Structure 1
Amino acid sequence: MTKTASTVGRAVLGAAAVGAVVGVVGPAFTVAGPRAGASSGTATQQFLSARPEAAAQAHAGPTLGAGVALAASGLVAASAVRRSRRAGAGAASAPAVVPVGLGCSVSAPAEQYFRDQLVACRAQLSEAGAPSVEETDQHMQELQAHAKQVLAGAAAALVFSSSMEAAVAYPIYAQQNYANPRALNGKIACANCHLAGKEIDVRMPHDVLADTIFKAQIDVPCKYEKRRQLIADGSKAALNIGAIAIMPEGWKLAPKDRLPKVLKKQMKGLSWSPYSKEYPNIVVAGPVPGSIYERMVLPILAPDPNTQKDANFGKLTMYFGGNRGRGQVYPEGNQSNNNQFFAKKDGKISAIDGLKVTIEGTDGSTVTQEVLAGGQIVVEVGEQVVKDDPLTTNPNVGGFGQAEKEMMLQDMNRVWAYCALATSIFVAQLTFVLKKKQFEKVQLAEGF
């Protein structure tokens, strides 16, 4: 029975030691051991005791599940050995219950025995065939590193898949190909790819004070619930929109920590970003769903000319642009499938093979045009066409528009000066009227 208890103790001790290595803390388990009063000359051997609550909380780590699994496997092995031995040996002596914690805590009365008992723990762990403390620790580190890699890969895949639908608009093209999005003639770079024109409406205050936050409201109207835009593979998707705001130097996007709660609610989570490091006064947004952000709110922080050299009081102009859907031309100059295609010459449609339309010219030559997936082919074989006749329908439902707004950056000293001037004029006029009334009374009294 003593040998059985020793075997069971080693198995449980190995599992408990592994649980201690990985930083696992749990409730105490019970195993069979020699009774305290079985022999007068034998002292009670209690190498392990339940870990105190404070120490357990201090050593609790993120690998709780791994340690509990190791300890549970040790208990299952100990229970199997105990049942096999109990059937042959009988109930010769009733085993006492010794609490064993999942941590290899030492409760020896003397401090000098701690090291010897820890060495004994490691020896019993080695005899049981369990991995060493260093091997277990290294294995757990490898598992944690692998888990982090898997988590990072899953997050990247989620971001990529969620951005696929939003990738039907490319404001990054303008940022990469145009250092300044506004040309000298006033044309914004977005109009180079988005050829169709659509109106936008911009509302903002007429004047603001220095170092104040105000909002510019950009309305990009369209029937977003009904209209769907064409994407690269020829299928239809929800219509996205984007916007750009070009402000004078010194003006910038309002910081988040200064935004009022009312303004945050009106923005509906819309995110604006600077156009580039060189132009923080130019901001862009999108592509975002048009059904949610048909009205885009831009928070602007007015500069303080008293502290900023690149800002001045007075009237200034801001430029805004709003876009719906995809463009018709890529930055390289090639057409997208969001176009209507036309016949290149006069002649007769001799063949239609999928997206390829062959025209037999009046001069005997033939030309094959490939129309991109998107619009529907509206011609048939044998039909006579003239140059620039449409071969497909127009799938474009979006367009780009821009607007200009003037604003006054007001100096408070000017406001006070105007108030003083208006008050002095009012007092002067009032004094003049009262004096005139007094003079008229005097004239009436003298008989004039």
Structure 2
Amino acid sequence: MNLHYQNNLIKKMIMLLFLIIGISQTNLLLQNKAQAFPVYAQQGYENPREATGRIVCANCHLAQKNISIEAPKSILPNTVFETTVKIPYNLQSKQILSNGTKGKLNVGAIVILPDGFQLAPSNLISDEIKAKTKNVYIQPYSTDKKNILVVGPMAGNANQEITFPILSPDPNKDKSIHFLKYPIYAGGNRGRGQVYPNGDKSNNNAITSSISGKITDIQELEKGGYQIDIQALDGNNISENIPPGLDLQVAKGDNVISNQLLTQDPNVGGFGQNETEIVLQSPVRIQGMIAFFIITAISQIFFVLKKKQWEKVQVSEMNF
């Protein structure tokens, strides 16, 4: 009985050990998956906007594309407003995925707001804005930079315009905020990058020849891609490996020079940034401006009435 009990105990301990290992591995996979996207920059940059003004997303997405940003010219304190980042591109474009196949482009965006501005809480967002931001998961850049918002990657064909619901601060509650004009910076990306955060190139790059010479053979590999054999001018032979998904633009027998493209450039995406300005407007200033306009209008009316009265007096004196 004791031996049987010990065997059962050992089996239970082994099963418990495997269960703990399985849970830890699952948590590790989930953690790595969460850290992989959408914000590689969070892992390497405390501030995504460099001193030069460039947003660090451009360090991996080397191609430059245009984006636009729309925001109100002025906004009152403690008010929810919309900021929209537009990321246009040809919906027929296909990008090379990490596994070598081609698929639709993804998009992502970043908005750098002034200090004190932040993502609007869901209970303050109107139904209209909620409809625009449905299935769009916006998050702060970090716990201490709530004024910087990021989103993506997500399907680009349905998200060429990304709306950010923003809550403006109240200078009456936060003395570090003032009624001033503030800049808003935005960046938008479509497609994959050419460089990974660790500095390695992705497969979303054109392949160039490392030497000058003649292409003696091109072999299509079983797992996809090609092997190009090149005979150098000094007689040495080298092989260039082409990853799956890339399209060749050379053929057997062609003469190539060093750094000449062997494949077409697969990158159809790119990163762009733009900026706008917004005024945090004081309600007292608006009320004062309205009061000034009313007083000015009333004064002008009285001046006109007084002039008419004076003209009547002059006419009566002339008749007399």
Return the TM-score normalized by structure 2: 0.83
Query: 1:356-402 CA distances to partner (integer Å, 9 max, x unpaired)?
Result: 33333334455443333321122122211233322001222211111
Task: Tell me if 1:173 matches 2:40.
Answer: yes
Code of the aligned partner of 1:179: E
- In the aligned structure 1, how far is the partner of 2:211 from the partner of 2:309? 93
- In the aligned structure 1, how far is the partner of 2:310 from the partner of 2:208? 88
Report if the CA contact (8 A) 1:338-1:374 is conserved.
Answer: no
The counterpart of 1:251, out of the listed 117, 125, 128, is 117
Aligned equivalent of 2:174:
308
Task: Tell me if 1:412 matches 2:283.
Answer: yes
Task: Tell me if 1:372 matches 2:243.
Answer: yes
Aligned equivalent of 1:431:
302
Aligned residue runs from structure 1 range 187-206, under 5 A: 187-206=54-73
- In the aligned structure 1, how far is the partner of 2:242 from the partner of 2:233? 22
Counterpart secondary structure, 1:422: helix
Report which of the two structures shows the higher radius of gyration computed on alpha carbons. 1
Query: 1:217-262 CA distances to partner (integer Å, 9 max, x unpaired)?
Result: 22212233x3332111101223211111100110000011221122
- In the aligned structure 2, how far is the partner of 1:367 from the partner of 1:416? 77
Post-superposition offset of 1:426: 1.8
Task: Tell me if 1:386 matches 2:274.
Answer: no
The counterpart of 1:182, out of the listed 46, 49, 52, is 49
Aligned residue runs from structure 1 range 54-69, under 5 A: none
Counterpart secondary structure, 2:258: coil
Code of the aligned partner of 2:71: M
Report if the CA contact (8 A) 2:39-2:150 is conserved.
Answer: no
Aligned residue runs from structure 1 range 224-235, under 5 A: 224=91, 226-235=92-101
- In the aligned structure 1, how far is the partner of 2:67 from the partner of 2:284? 36
Post-superposition offset of 1:420: 1.6
- In the aligned structure 1, how far is the partner of 2:233 from the partner of 2:300? 88
- In the aligned structure 2, how far is the partner of 1:365 from the partner of 1:446? 117
Aligned residue runs from structure 1 range 135-146, under 5 A: none
1 or 2, which has the higher helix percentage? 1
Aligned equivalent of 1:71:
none
Return the TM-score normalized by structure 1: 0.60
Code of the aligned partner of 1:444: V
Task: Tell me if 1:290 matches 2:156.
Answer: yes
Task: Tell me if 1:219 matches 2:74.
Answer: no
The counterpart of 1:274, out of the listed 126, 140, 145, is 140
- In the aligned structure 2, how far is the partner of 1:196 from the partner of 1:223? 15
Counterpart secondary structure, 2:185: strand
Task: Tell me if 1:359 matches 2:227.
Answer: no
Query: 1:174-230 CA distances to partner (integer Å, 9 max, x unpaired)?
Result: 110111000111110111100112212222211110000011122212233x33321
| Root-mean-square deviation over aligned CA pairs | 2.7
- In the aligned structure 2, how far is the partner of 1:349 from the partner of 1:361? 9
Aligned equivalent of 1:4:
none
Could you say if the C-alpha distance between residues 249 and 419 of structure 1 is closer, same or farther in structure 2, counting changes exceeding 3 Å?
A: same
- In the aligned structure 2, how far is the partner of 1:282 from the partner of 1:189? 13
Query: 1:276-322 CA distances to partner (integer Å, 9 max, x unpaired)?
Result: 11211101111111122222111000000111133221111101111
Aligned equivalent of 2:74:
207
Report if the CA contact (8 A) 1:253-1:301 is conserved.
Answer: yes
Task: Tell me if 1:444 matches 2:311.
Answer: no
Code of the aligned partner of 1:183: E
5+ residue gaps in structure 2?
1-11
Report if the CA contact (8 A) 1:197-1:399 is conserved.
Answer: yes
Aligned equivalent of 2:3:
none
The counterpart of 1:403, out of the listed 250, 270, 274, is 274
Query: 1:155-191 CA distances to partner (integer Å, 9 max, x unpaired)?
Result: x69x96xx98x99x84332110111000111110111
5+ residue gaps in structure 1?
1-141
- In the aligned structure 2, how far is the partner of 1:312 from the partner of 1:302? 11
1 or 2, which has the higher strand percentage? 2
Post-superposition offset of 1:412: 0.3
Report if the CA contact (8 A) 2:100-2:245 is conserved.
Answer: yes
Aligned pairs, number:
294
Code of the aligned partner of 1:208: I
**Structure 1 stretch displaced more, 323-332 or 344-353:** 344-353
